[in-house]
Each structure stands twice: as C-alpha cells, then as structure tokens.
Amino acid sequence: MHQQQLIGVAITGSGSALPPVALDNHGVSQLVETSDEWIASRTGIRQRRLADPTTSLVELAVEAAKGAIAMAGIAPTDLDLIVLATSTADDLFGSAGKIQVELGALQAVAFDMTAACSGFVFGLATAAQFIRTGVYRNVLLIGADILSRWVNWTDRGTCILFGDGAGAVVMQAQSSDRLLGFELRTDGTQNSSLNLKFQAEPKKLVEGVTIGQGGYQPITMNGKEVYRFAVNKVPEVLEKAAFHAHINIAEIDWLILHQANQRILDAVAERLNIPPAKVISNLANYGNTSAASIAIALDESVRQGKIQPGDIIAAAGFGAGLSWGAAIFKWGK
C-alpha cells in the first residue's frame, strides 16, 4: 500500500520587536513596596520594556514578522498561513488579519491562537501540522503580547514580572525535517493559578432574559504554585520531546525556556544536567513577555551569531491554562 510521505519542517528566519521605553526595578519600586535587590534576586529581572498607549500589538508583531521574513529570504506574498499566538490581541475577534494586510501577505490565511506563555511552542506544533500534511509550505508564526495593559500595577506579586514584546519565525516545508519532536500538555485543574478573567455584570434585557456584560480583570496569580508547577513539569516535558526527537538531552546545544524567572531556568537546567553555558537568558532586560519570550530569545541569539545553522535547540513554554510544552528543532535549513 502506498504510504503518504510526510513533509519536513524547517525554521528558516526569526525576528523580534520591543517597545523602546524601559522601566527598571527602581522605577517599579516607586509603584509598589519592593526593591531592585528583591526583584533581581527572586526573578533575575532588572528591567522590562513597556508599550506606550499608542503602540498596537499589530505594530510590534509586524516589525518582528518583517525581520523573520527577511531572514528567511521569502516575500510576504509567499506566505500561506499566519498564526498569531497572543493573549492580548488589539481586538478580541483577532489581530492576525491586520497583520496580514500590513505585511502585504494577501495570499495567507491568518488567525489568532491563545495558549498564554505556552503560545509560541503550541503555535510551532500547530503550524507544523499544516506543513507536514502538505497543506501549506510557508508559515509565519508570531508570539506577541502587551501584558502591561493587563497587569495590576499595585500588586507587587505580579507587576514585577511582565514586559511587552513580539517575536516571530518563518517555518517552511523542505525534504529534510528539522522539527525533531514536540510534546504539549494542559492541566485545567490548576486553571485558577494564573488568570486574566472576564467578569460579567448581569444586565437584564427583557423579562426572563439576562446577559452578562463587563470587562477583563487584571492578572491574578498564585506565584508559588506556578513556580512549583514550572520546575516540576518543564523538565518532564523536555524529556518527552527529546524522546520523540530520538536525541539525548546531552545533545541539545541550546535550551530556550520561556523567560519567566531565572530561578526557574536554573532549576530546570540543573534537573536535566544542562550546563549554564547552554541556557539562553535575556529576562534581565525584558522580563516575562509571555508568548513572545522564546522567539525574542531565539532571534537575539541567532543575530548575535550564538546559534548557528544545524544547532539543536530545545524550547519550552509554560504558563496559564495551566499549559506547558516543548519542541526540539535544528535551527535553519
């Protein structure tokens, strides 16, 4: 019987965009009772970039996308699909359509997807399905978030952590497969550990018909629970992805974790016996940029010449859902 040949996936370009304005920990300590020393020693974060009120998520996403498209050496009209991983779209109906038009990628179908800080890894796995099955050849995946708009700036347990930004990659069909393996997980029983929730006020329309109208409430988080979850679950999911990829953890050249907290990065690397020199970290400068963080760290490392074509990268995202996932891929064509 004829067996359908699955098509390989390559990640051929990256880009990133960050708002120009930085707020350092001294600035945060003017808002809440905290200090640079406390924040830096508990999280590794020194400053974060924050979008001004006129900056849209689409603008950041388009800038990151342009970098990735140029590096991949394709034209926007070559794109078949645009996936925007975000929790903070400019429009709840989706922002991917505006990105499509601003890039001039008029052939591409475009949609948003939400998996919070796991969004980039979930997006990688989602986009890969379309490529592997031969449906699309050139896919743009963007991870972008402006969480500063949803942070409670009087809550010192959360406002110290987050920053804004966007990162993007171009994924292409090719004969040799560079996406070696992935594993995705969700545990909804822990959903209440990290939320950005809609709160409905009852509004009676007519007798017997009441609807809910309201708005999204600022981020709430049980920091200890999320910390424990990340340190326990991320090594496990990386091991599963490595198993699917048929590689040993020791073969990984670079570990790019979602940039949430340096202590989480260190603990995961230590559990997996990955030396600190292989762990990519830029959270001191940007804080936790949610769906963008892995792609920004990847792009910076590629542009610095740290990550070279053929290097094996293990990426893992984790966060609200709770959700977590890992993908192992070789960089470049």
Phi, psi of 41 (to 5 degrees): -75, -30
Q: Binders of ligand COA among 237-296, rule CB under 6 A?
A: 260-261, 288
Could you tell me which stretch among 6-14, 120-128, 157-165, 177-185 binds ligand COA (CB under 6 A)? 157-165
Active-site annotation holder among 25, 258, 261, 285: 258
Active site includes 258?
yes
Active-site annotation holder among 117, 138, 261, 285: 117
Number of residues that bind ligand COA (CB under 6 A): 19
Could you tell me which stretch among 7-15, 127-135, 220-228, 233-241 binds ligand COA (CB under 6 A)? 220-228
Helix axes 293-303, 119-132, angle to 10 degrees: 80
Q: Which of 26, 197, 203, 224 binds ligand COA (CB under 6 A)?
A: 224
Instruction: For ligand COA, give the closer residue by CB, 235 or 319.
Output: 319
Count helices and strands in the chain by DSSP H and E runs: 9, 15
The answer to whether 156 contacts ligand COA (rule: CB under 6 A) is yes
User: Distance between CA 306 and CA 120 in Å, rounded?
Assistant: 21
Active site includes 117?
yes
The answer to whether 197 contacts ligand COA (rule: CB under 6 A) is no
The answer to whether 218 contacts ligand COA (rule: CB under 6 A) is no
Q: Binders of ligand COA among 26-85, rule CB under 6 A?
A: 34, 38-39, 42-43
Calculate the CA 43 to chain-centre distance.
18
Active site includes 248?
no
- Judged by DSSP in three states, 102 sits in helix
Q: Of 183, 223, 187, 191, nearest to 315 (Cα)?
A: 183
* Strands, E assignment, the chain: 8-17, 22-24, 47-49, 81-85, 109-113, 138-146, 164-174, 179-186, 194-195, 198-206, 209-216, 220-221, 254-257, 312-319, 323-330
Tell me how far CA of residue 28 lies from CA of 33, 45, 46, 185, in angstroms: 9, 11, 10, 34
What is the CB neighbour count within 10 angstroms for residue 188?
9
Q: What is the nearest approach in angstroms of ligand COA to the Cβ of residue 49? A: 17
Q: What is the nearest approach in angstroms of ligand COA to the Cβ of residue 296? A: 15
Q: Binders of ligand COA among 85-124, rule CB under 6 A?
A: 117
Q: Which of 113, 223, 239, 249 binds ligand COA (CB under 6 A)?
A: 223
Q: What is the nearest approach in angstroms of ligand COA to the Cβ of residue 43? A: 5
Q: Which of 15, 76, 319, 332 binds ligand COA (CB under 6 A)?
A: 319
Q: Which two tokens stand for residue 141?
A: 């995946």
Amino acid letter at 224?
A: K
Amino acid letter at 292?
A: A
Residues that bind ligand COA (CB under 6 A): 34, 38-39, 42-43, 117, 156-157, 160-161, 221, 223-224, 226-227, 260-261, 288, 319
By annotation, the residues acting in catalysis are 117, 258, 288
